[in-house]
Structure 1
Amino acid sequence: MCGRYTLFVEQTDLEERFDARFADSFAPRYNMAPGQRLPVITNDEPETIQRLEWGLVPSWADDDTGGIVNARAETVHEKPSFRAAYERRRCLVLADGFYEWAETSAGKQPYRVAFEDDRPFALAGLWERWEPEEPETAQTGLEAFGGGDSDASEADSDELDVLETFTILTTEPNDLVADLHHRMAVILDPEREQEWLTADDPRELLEPYPEDELRAYPVSTAVNSPANDEPSLVEPVQT
Structure 2
Amino acid sequence: MCGRYSLFVTPDELEERFGVSVPADYGPRYNAAPRQDLPVIRADPDAELTRANWGFLPSWTDDPDDAPRPINARSETVRDKPMFRDAFASAGAGADLATAGRCLVPADGFYEWKEEGGGKQPYRVTLADEKPFAMAGLYAVWEGVEKQTGLDAFAGGGKAEPETRRVVSFTVCTTEPNDLVADLHHRMAVMVPEGEEETWLHGGVEEAAGLFEPYPAGEMRAYPVSTAVNDPANDSPAVVEELGAN
Show the counterpart of 2:117.
105
CA distance in 1, matches of 2:141, 2:165: 10
Counterpart secondary structure, 1:191: coil
Task: Please say if residues 101 and 109 of structure 1, whose CA atoms lie closer than 8 Å, have aligned partners that are also in contact.
Answer: yes
Show the counterpart of 1:221.
227
Deviation at 1:68, TM superposition (A): 1.0
Deviations 1:142-176 (A, max 9, x none): xxxxxx968x32xx2xx321111000000000000
Q: TM-score, normalised by structure 2?
A: 0.86
Q: 1:165 aligns with which of 138, 155, 169?
A: 169
Show the counterpart of 1:36.
36
Q: 1:176 aligns with which of 177, 180, 185?
A: 180
Show the counterpart of 1:72.
74
Show the counterpart of 2:12.
12
Q: Which runs of 5+ in 1 are unaligned?
A: 137-147
Task: Please say if residues 24 and 50 of structure 1, whose CA atoms lie closer than 8 Å, have aligned partners that are also in contact.
Answer: no
Residues 174-213 of structure 1 mapped to structure 2, 5 A cutoff? 174-201=178-205, 202-213=208-219
Deviation at 1:38, TM superposition (A): 0.3
Pair 1:54–1:45, CA change in 2 (3 A): farther
Pair 1:134–1:178, CA change in 2 (3 A): closer
CA distance in 2, matches of 1:180, 1:195: 29
CA distance in 2, matches of 1:30, 1:133: 34
Counterpart secondary structure, 1:20: coil
Show the counterpart of 1:84.
86
**Aligned-pair identity (%):** 54
CA distance in 2, matches of 1:20, 1:189: 17
RMSD (CA atoms): 1.9
Deviations 1:46-88 (A, max 9, x none): 6010010000011111222331100000111110000011111
Show the counterpart of 1:144.
none
Structure 1 runs of 4+ with >4 Å offset: 133-136
Task: Please say if residues 225 and 243 of structure 2, whose CA atoms lie closer than 8 Å, have aligned partners that are also in contact.
Answer: yes
CA distance in 2, matches of 1:228, 1:179: 25
Counterpart secondary structure, 1:181: coil
CA distance in 1, matches of 2:51, 2:127: 24
Which of 192-201 and 21-30 deviates more?
21-30
Counterpart secondary structure, 1:131: strand
Which structure shows the bigger proportion of residues in helix conformation?
Answer: 1
Deviations 1:177-210 (A, max 9, x none): 0000000001101111111000111101111000
CA distance in 2, matches of 1:174, 1:186: 11
| Structure possessing the higher radius of gyration over alpha carbons | 1
CA distance in 2, matches of 1:211, 1:135: 48
Deviation at 1:17, TM superposition (A): 1.1
Residues 141-152 of structure 1 mapped to structure 2, 5 A cutoff? 152=160
Which of 103-112 and 119-128 deviates more?
103-112
Q: TM-score, normalised by structure 1?
A: 0.88
